[in-house]
Structure 1
């Protein structure tokens, strides 16, 4: 456990087993993470899959939490939550019941075998950049790049906000 409070952003996605309900349930379950507080979350978005296109569209969101957990302990909690949603890792970028990505962990840059933060592809993914901009429009990355720079270069494409 860290004594400091760390602000984190979590990417959430699902395209199996009623994805809208999977994401809504995951947002509720993020409130129960130990030593953590859910601050806010974005709207839900519908996005085309990355990678193999022979799979359903995804429902995505981004959540902001404050945590006292160390980065790898938070990752363990997120992966345990994925397992409770019957996440099976069969195919890289394949369909999944729930995907939780630790996008940002404070101002830290982390490069380990299990964890890369900031998430290496997040600034190329419209289903991350737009929801993050919704809840943290003035966000500045650890390398001092403003989110607005990535937003300007990331087309919205077929990304659609879901009205629920």
Structure 2
């Protein structure tokens, strides 16, 4: 069975565009075919640690892997790009997150789907609304456009050139 997997990519260490370009073939080889790419957005860093702005993107991947296998492969891809998990919300070369896995809901210790903070993060909702404006969040019943319209995040999210 083919599932639709929305993944976010983010990073603010090194040449992030180059890192994204290097990650795409690995995602296609290990997880599934990328069918849609959002624009890349420059966004203010979240959290208590002062750091450089991030580049963020959302992609849609068709996969036959179960969610836990997707997570395992994503962590391996992050590691290939020297991702170190030192501190929460700290700077990173590559951050991959499962946003949605078809309409599946998962609540496990190491994996929560849909991603629990989508509705609070404009840097996720903006690219999601770009590529899937009418996709409905299975927990809230709202489309990506509706979630973005009601998002209280005031951080700057600008399409990167």
TM-score w.r.t. the length of structure 2 is 0.93
Partner of 1:42: 38
Q: 1:22 aligns with which of 6, 16, 19?
A: 19
Aligned pairs, how many?
A: 159
2:90 matched to 1:65? no
Which blocks of at least 5 consecutive residues in structure 1 are unaligned? Answer: none
Partner of 2:159: 161
Instruction: Give the deviation of 1:119 after TM superposition.
Output: 0.2
Q: Distance in 1 between matches of 2:51 and 2:23?
A: 21
Tell me, what secondary structure is at the counterpart of 1:89?
Answer: coil
Q: Which runs of 4+ in 1 moved over 3 A?
A: none
Partner of 2:50: 54
Q: Distance in 2 between matches of 1:83 and 1:128?
A: 22
Q: Distance in 2 between matches of 1:54 and 1:28?
A: 32
Q: Distance in 1 between matches of 2:30 and 2:154?
A: 31
Q: Distance in 1 between matches of 2:48 and 2:16?
A: 18
Output the aligned Cα RMSD.
1.4
- Which stretch shifts more, 72-81 or 153-162? 153-162
Q: Distance in 2 between matches of 1:127 and 1:7?
A: 20
Alpha-carbon distance change, 92 to 157 in structure 1, aligned in 2, over 3 angstroms: closer
Alpha-carbon distance change, 20 to 52 in structure 1, aligned in 2, over 3 angstroms: farther
Partner of 1:120: 116
2:13 matched to 1:9? no
Alpha-carbon distance change, 157 to 93 in structure 1, aligned in 2, over 3 angstroms: closer
2:96 matched to 1:96? no
